[in-house]
Structure 1
Amino acid sequence: MTAWDPALLAAPPLTEGENRLPPAHKLFALRTLPLGEIRAIGFDMDHTLARYRAPEIDGLAFKKAARLLVRDRGYSPWLLEIEYDPGFAVRGLVLDGLRGNLLKLNRERQVVRACHGSRAMPRPELDVVYGRRRLSTAAKGFRNIDTLFEIPESHLYAQMVDGLDRGLLKAENYLQLFRDVRWAIDSAHRNGEMKAEILEHRHFFIPPDPQLALTLDRLKREGKKLFLLTNSEWSFTHGVLSHLLDGQDEARPRWTDYFDLVVVSSRKPAFFLETPEPVALEGRPRCFTGGHAAWLEAQLGAEGEQILYVGDHIYGDVLRSKKNASWRTLLLVPELERELRLLEARNQDMRDLVRLETTRRRTLRRASVLMDQWKRNRVRRHVLGPRLSAEAAVALDHEAAHLASSAEALQRRAELQNLEMDTLMKSVEAAFNPMWGPMFRDRDEQTRFADQIQQFACAYTGRVGNLYMYDPHATVYAPMPALPHERMI
């Protein structure tokens, strides 16, 4: 047995080919992140430290919410016959509870795609309902689908809108459906039944992550103070994290050994907005419920940009911790791994789209110049007409005919290029999601979700374990900002 026997190592040795990280294992920095200046690193639990098995966890929430609606709100048992469709919705959408619609917005908050119930709405219908104006999602009846917990809510609401339209369900309006679905999803998570089932079958619903314990151990050994900040209550938190971390490292036999401070039932985002007193958990050293950001900073001896918080909720974890506490933020986007695989698989198609669009624009630019030359020709013919010789007039008319036919030919070519590009674009976008396309983009525009990430996250990645491959004292650099003309150099 040699010293390099994997059985003797905490982690397998790196091979020569592992000098370059695969994209799915990278941190993508939006602002330069000096890890050496970070004194404390905090973690959310749900969909951050714990990655639940999807779509099974979503299907469980969907079914439990449907049962609650039938049992407690008197809805038709027809709801119980519906199968959950994990591909129906994606994160970053917006529910319009007043109209029964689900919306995809661009970075300007304009609606670029929508469905009424489960029916896709064509562009003319979108223009009639929403126009091209900016949408205020803070208005009554709107709900941002920003967490993975809300994906089954979207599908359940869409199915209930279909049921109301078809006369299968009774309700006053779409807004009542919206409120009842919101109540059912919240109740399914809060009444304890769903959490009890998850813990009973934790080996199925919570897959282990071998890199998680290694990552936390490395950060702690390098002098970082680690804390847990979760909205889940103690019993569920203990059940989940003991499953993931207990016994993974001889030096840290219990999951609490990885953390300097544990805060459960934290009530985020109120944790960053209010100042309730924390309550110590009896018999659990360094474990509390409640509290607030200023108290937590005092406990850790770190504040503001000395703290990095890792979570999956763009509002509760990232936006509020950054705006109200000035913490640095790392957004967990579990869907990123799939998006990266699809980008790699459709790489040639993406290159073809860029080539087609570049060619189309050049074609249109050339057609525009030819049309301007035709107009100048006609103006000259009109102004100089009486003074032109017959031969000169014929020459100008001949040139005009040639310019017009050339411009028209280029216009037809651009139309064919646009048709080819549109067909390819639809194929690429459908690979991500047939209804919504990619999460971060719609054609050549960024989505509202992508814009929020750029505004409030210092960096984003697919899983906590990706931190293991980064030196805790190094700097993770964001791409150098550049104006369009600088990218040509």
Structure 2
Amino acid sequence: MLACSYKLESPVQSTPDKMVVKVDTIEQDDLMTNKIFKKKYYCKNNKKKKQPPFPSADIFRFSDYDYVGFDLDNTICRYKVAEIMRLEYKLIAEYLVNKYGYDTSLLLGVDDDMDFLQKGIIMDIKRGNFLKCSKDGVILRATHGTRPMTRAEIIEVYGKDKTWEPILFFKETMYDNSPECNRLLRSFKDYFDMPAAIACARAIDIDDRSPNGPPEEYDIWQDVHVALCNMYRREYYSTEQGGFFPELKENPGKYMYEASDRLKKWLMNLKEHTYTFLVSGSSIDYASHTAEFVLGEDWRDYFDTVVCTAKKPHFFTAARPFRYLNGHLDAEEVPLGDLRINGTYSGGNWAELLELVKIETGIDNPHCLYVGDHLCQDVLTPPMVGIDTIAIVEELAAEGMCGDPLEHDAGSDLMSMFWGSFFTTDGNNKVMGIDRINTLYGDIPIRSARLAIPCLEVVARNGIKFQYDGFSSESSGFYPGDPVILHF
């Protein structure tokens, strides 16, 4: 049960099936107010935090920030990626077969096609092709369905420059739903939607084998998209539908890791030093379930502010109102000026949250940081509104890092023999270091983040005042080491 500042008429008790919220008691409010006062006093009187200049681009320290935020899924909560993707594919395939009558061969296990998976693959929806692109929008490798395309086939379809106009638009914003890209392409950006690529590719293979031959245009994506969304419908957490939430509620240890004591201590040390916040796209009931498993029943104590159902990336750029929570449901809008630094809310927007931080810290231009795994929502977008970012890139551990033995438990599933390295594919082998990175998604941390790390556990090895090399013209921000492939 959460102990947060919610606007309710009376305490609400929890049940085993629903996460609901209890109003703070007077004693709890007094305790929280005392903690906030002490932190506010610290921030307002810490001249080092307020004095310019901010450290140069090639130096990074967590302790230099006035407000440090985290994503939940794949950041605070580290999933067992192989298990979660197999579950997701199973649920998508079952939905397509049972709801739309797709061929039952889709129900076959996904293991034979795991090599097809890679973060950042783009689907040409109407042609049924899957594309891996360079940071300049050039198609590096491609398949039709699951069948690899030759260089000659790529040129035949996309021209000798191996480019496609929608991708040239997409690479600027990484936004699938722009007028130039909508209904033409889909990018598979994280471990929650990557299995949908296999479902699409297999369905295209089935269409190609039909007696009538391949269609002129494929219309598979809209069905797969419905199946994908069906797993994650917000209300399904409480109604035990969709398959995904019931399975993770029943077997959390099969799909998630608990945070180490070292990481918990690091998070608490950070919160003692500065204000911290959690901004997640998940609803409060699922977020609470996840955070409690990862951090413990006291998970709420690790963050000052919590925002769920945040609708990133628009949380950072739009003006959606904050709402109070009535149990796990959204309640009335929070009036302007009524946000509390220790509150838990739904929806919202960065502009209002930033104004609150200015008031609490007494700093006109607070330095803010956000840590997340989604390279578009969490890494590319926040800098547009002045927030520094750290990219969680699990492929670092999967492919190996220079000078560090950390390995990924699902490394064999995240490394693709066909697509090649996440960071560089068919690049210039004479170039060493981060200049060799040439892939569209591999380039995002370099141009948008201060650091790129495989997981939070690696920074928990150090204190919050530890000095890292950040991305700059003079240094690499990959920590604890560059991807191995960049140096041979």
Give the residue type in structure 2 aligned to 1:130: Y
TM-superposition CA deviations, 1:70-120 (whole Å, max 9, x none): 222232333223535333211122111121111111121100101111111
Secondary structure of 1:95's partner? Answer: strand
Does structure 1 residue 315 correspond to structure 2 residue 372?
no
TM-superposition CA deviations, 1:361-398 (whole Å, max 9, x none): xxxxxxxxxxxxxxxxxxxxxxxxxxxxxxxxxxxxxx
Aligned partners of 1:231 and 1:49: how far apart in 2? 13
Give the residue type in structure 2 aligned to 1:320: T
* Equivalence for 1:238: 288
* Equivalence for 1:329: 389
Identity of aligned residues (%): 26
Change in Cα spacing, 1:475 to 1:118, as seen in structure 2 (3 Å) is same
- Check whether the contact 1:31–1:459 (CA below 8 A) recurs between aligned residues: no
Give the residue type in structure 2 aligned to 1:69: L
Q: Choose from 99, 104, 119 the match for 2:147.
A: 119
Change in Cα spacing, 1:59 to 1:30, as seen in structure 2 (3 Å) is farther
Does structure 1 residue 477 correspond to structure 2 residue 469?
yes
* Equivalence for 2:204: 161
Give the residue type in structure 1 aligned to 2:452: Y
Aligned partners of 2:324 and 2:414: how far apart in 1? 49
Aligned partners of 2:84 and 2:415: how far apart in 1? 21
Pairing 1:166-315 to 2, within 5 Å after superposition: 166-167=209-210, 174-190=217-233, 191-192=236-237, 193-210=243-260, 211-221=262-272, 223-246=273-296, 254-282=298-326, 286-301=343-358, 306-315=367-376
TM-score by length of 2: 0.69
* Equivalence for 1:149: 192
- Check whether the contact 1:146–1:313 (CA below 8 A) recurs between aligned residues: yes
CA positional deviation for 1:182 = 1.7
Secondary structure of 1:308's partner? Answer: strand
* Equivalence for 1:466: 458
RMSD: 2.9
Aligned partners of 1:268 and 1:80: how far apart in 2? 32
TM-superposition CA deviations, 1:288-331 (whole Å, max 9, x none): 001100112233336876111011111111111111x2100001
TM-superposition CA deviations, 1:387-435 (whole Å, max 9, x none): xxxxxxxxxxxxxxxxxxxxxxxxxxxxxxxxxxxxxxxxxx9994211
Change in Cα spacing, 1:89 to 1:147, as seen in structure 2 (3 Å) is same
Aligned partners of 1:344 and 1:434: how far apart in 2? 23
Bigger-Rg structure (1/2): 1
Q: What runs of 5+ residues in structure 2 fail to find an aligned partner?
A: 1-55, 171-180, 238-242, 329-341, 406-411, 429-437, 476-488
Structure number with the higher helix fraction is 1
Secondary structure of 2:143's partner? Answer: strand
* Equivalence for 1:107: 135
Change in Cα spacing, 1:171 to 1:238, as seen in structure 2 (3 Å) is farther
Q: What runs of 5+ residues in structure 1 fail to find an aligned partner?
A: 1-28, 248-253, 346-428, 484-489
Q: Choose from 60, 76, 94 the match for 2:103.
A: 76
Aligned partners of 1:173 and 1:319: how far apart in 2? 36
Q: Choose from 435, 438, 451 the match for 2:418.
A: 435
Change in Cα spacing, 1:168 to 1:430, as seen in structure 2 (3 Å) is farther
- Check whether the contact 1:160–1:169 (CA below 8 A) recurs between aligned residues: no
TM-superposition CA deviations, 1:166-225 (whole Å, max 9, x none): 12999966541022112211212224430121121002111223143122112123x121
- Check whether the contact 1:97–1:142 (CA below 8 A) recurs between aligned residues: yes
The number of aligned residues is 364
CA positional deviation for 1:60 = 0.7
- Check whether the contact 1:333–1:463 (CA below 8 A) recurs between aligned residues: yes
* Equivalence for 2:69: 42
Give the residue type in structure 2 aligned to 1:118: T
CA positional deviation for 1:277 = 1.7
Give the residue type in structure 2 aligned to 1:271: F
Change in Cα spacing, 1:448 to 1:169, as seen in structure 2 (3 Å) is farther
CA positional deviation for 1:147 = 1.4
- Check whether the contact 1:88–1:435 (CA below 8 A) recurs between aligned residues: yes
Aligned partners of 1:304 and 1:129: how far apart in 2? 50
Q: For CA contacts below 8 A with separation 6 or more, give which structure has more relative contact order.
A: 1
Change in Cα spacing, 1:165 to 1:82, as seen in structure 2 (3 Å) is farther
Once structures 1 and 2 are overlaid, which stretch shifts more, 256-265 or 447-456? Answer: 447-456
